[in-house]
């Protein structure tokens, strides 16, 4: 009875201290629930949604059969991390659709990012007294602070980005990121204060396991985590120990080493592939022009806000961390660009959010209310605008390709790269090719060859055109997207002149043909 009373008191105390955070989280969940299950926003957008669906569909197979999610050949995809594996296995065990589970896990991951950010913020700024105000401000700054700018990205820039791409594992990785940097900071503090080493070692092990989970969920976020560890370690080495740290301080180097060793035991893909085989974003030719010169003026504005916030917060560690990630982000302006520089942007916004929250919460009530009101006004207005302009570019839902049930699951379907990318993620069918930004880079050579063959398919040349491609890949089914190939009748006639064709399905968008082999 005494135990129950203690638990109830603890629960009451927890809710009393976190009621604002819980209410903010529920508000955001309501928004994401609406865009996900009412408007089905993720299914009406371009992006990596379909790729992640394809990964999960592939992971529902027995381990020994798991391979490339599109081509059934080549190396296992490095996206086969903890997040999609968990969804695939839960889907298998419960019989619940993996698409539905990805949506639910996306919302849960969002809540986890927000709540773990609060944990991190309170750890880095332990002197804060008004926790409710801080929780409200942090939620608004984190998810609406960048909303009014046009720049959008699938990972985490703003609430609209999360709503459009809620299925991605990025948020789950970022939630683990918040916990990892918080735990590592506690390790550094305990070592500085010469606390008992036994508990410190336990926390170090927790940091190592969290780091491994992040590396296996989203490897670039894991790399950014290691960079953050380096910044934190460097800060303590220079400013806390004055270049004379004790021996136990150097034992922190074991954390990333142990994390990598743990990753090597992951059975669903070779952890070393992203570092040895993948075609990373080359410094001379980045994956896309995400940051243009006008974007850099907005980033410069962020830097100024960060400077003003840092002057008020007076937290040297978080300030150094903010400028260190901004340094990598700004490498676009350097003669030699740092690979994947733009992936640092979500972490830049995270560190900025901590500084801005401290600054905004420290203002008097009138000024704070005005700033938050303007942020909400512009933020939600821009949210609606982004949803309208980005989310509904292509009206595709999971039922859009129900007609492909006519095709046996073990048969390849030939279509254009974009359409193949969409239906493969839903149906799990093998395809000839997908668009270049979403194939498995570990299969780069295979993908390039298939991409060229897919373009050659629509030529009449018997040596390099459709007959050659059909024989090479043993193709029996062709799906023509009428919106992409507007002269689809000409292609159908061309194929009909060479093969015995059977029309399996046709509507205003698609034409599905079966090639009848003699």
Q: For 269-307, how does the pLDDT look when each residue is reduced to its tens digit (9 = 90+)?
A: 888 877 776 544 333 444 445 566 777 787 788 888 888
Neighbours of 39 (CB within 10 A): 14
Q: What percent of the chain has pLDDT over 90?
A: 37
Q: For 191-213, how does the pLDDT look when each residue is reduced to its tens digit (9 = 90+)?
A: 999 999 999 999 999 999 999 99
Q: How far apart are CA 426 and CA 434, in angstroms?
A: 14
- Find residue 500's DSSP bridge partners: 516
Report helix, strand or coil for 71.
coil
Position 73 pLDDT exceeds 80? no
Position 460 pLDDT exceeds 90? no
Q: Closest by alpha carbon to 517, among 480, 477, 479, 476? A: 476
Please give the pLDDT value at position 281.
39
Q: For 393-443, how does the pLDDT look when each residue is reduced to its tens digit (9 = 90+)?
A: 556 777 788 889 888 888 888 888 888 888 887 888 888 888 766 666 666
| Contact by Cβ (8 Å): 252, 207 | no
- Find residue 493's DSSP bridge partners: none
Which pTM value belongs to this model?
Answer: 0.90
Please give the pLDDT value at position 282.
38
Question: Mean pLDDT for the chain?
Answer: 83
How many Cα atoms sit within 13 Å of 58 on the Cβ side?
Answer: 30
């Amino acid at each position: 009875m005494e135990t129950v009373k203690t638990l109830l008191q603890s629960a009451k105390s927890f809710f009393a201290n976190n009621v604002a955070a819980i209410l903010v989280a529920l508000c955001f969940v309501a928004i994401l629930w609406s865009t996900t299950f009412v408007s089905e926003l993720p299914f009406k957008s371009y992006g990596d949604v379909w790729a992640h669906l394809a990964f999960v569909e592939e992971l529902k197979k027995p381990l020994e059969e798991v391979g490339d999610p599109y081509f059934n050949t080549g190396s296992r995809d490095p996206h086969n991390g903890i997040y999609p594996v968990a969804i695939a296995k839960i889907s298998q065990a419960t019989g619940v659709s993996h698409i539905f589970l990805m949506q639910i896990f996306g919302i849960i991951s969002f809540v986890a990012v927000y709540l773990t950010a609060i944990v991190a913020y309170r750890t880095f700024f332990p002197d804060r007294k008004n926790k409710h105000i801080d929780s409200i401000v942090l939620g608004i700054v984190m998810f609406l602070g960048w909303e009014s700018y046009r720049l959008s990205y699938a990972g985490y820039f703003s609430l609209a980005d999360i709503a459009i791409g809620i299925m991605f594992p990025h948020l789950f990785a970022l939630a683990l990121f918040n916990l990892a940097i918080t735990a590592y900071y506690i390790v550094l503090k305990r070592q500085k204060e010469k606390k008992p080493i036994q508990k410190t070692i336990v926390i170090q092990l927790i940091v190592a396991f969290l780091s491994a989970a992040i590396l296996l969920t989203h490897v670039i976020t894991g790399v950014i985590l290691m960079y953050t560890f380096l910044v934190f370690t460097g800060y303590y080495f220079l400013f806390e120990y004055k270049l004379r740290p004790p021996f136990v301080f150097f034992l922190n180097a074991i954390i990333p080493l142990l994390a990598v060793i743990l990753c090597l035991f992951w059975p669903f893909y070779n952890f070393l592939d992203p570092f040895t085989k993948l075609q990373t974003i080359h410094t001379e030719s980045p994956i896309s022009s995400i940051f243009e010169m006008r974007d850099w003026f907005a980033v410069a504005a962020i830097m100024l806000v960060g400077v003003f916030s840092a002057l008020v917060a007076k937290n040297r560690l978080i300030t150094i961390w903010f400028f260190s990630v901004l340094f990598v982000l700004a490498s676009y302006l350097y003669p030699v660009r740092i690979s994947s520089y733009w992936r640092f942007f979500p972490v830049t916004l995270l560190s900025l959010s901590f500084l801005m929250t401290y600054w905004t919460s420290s203002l008097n009530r009138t000024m704070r209310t005005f700033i938050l009101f303007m942020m909400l006004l512009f933020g939600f207005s821009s949210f609606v605008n982004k949803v309208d302009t980005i989310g509904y570019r292509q009206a595709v839902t999971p039922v859009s390709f129900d007609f492909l049930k006519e095709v046996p699951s073990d048969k390849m379907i030939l279509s254009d790269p974009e359409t193949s990318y969409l239906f493969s993620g839903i149906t799990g069918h093998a395809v000839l090719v997908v668009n270049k930004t979403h194939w498995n880079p570990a299969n780069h050579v295979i993908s390039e060859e298939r991409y060229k063959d897919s373009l050659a398919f629509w030529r009449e040349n018997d040596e390099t055109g459709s007959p050659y491609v059909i024989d090479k890949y043993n193709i029996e089914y062709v799906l023509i997207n009428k919106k992409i190939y507007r002269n689809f009748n000409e292609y159908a006639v061309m194929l009909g002149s060479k093969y015995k064709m059977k029309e399996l399905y046709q509507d205003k968008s698609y034409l599905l043909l079966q090639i009848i082999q003699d």
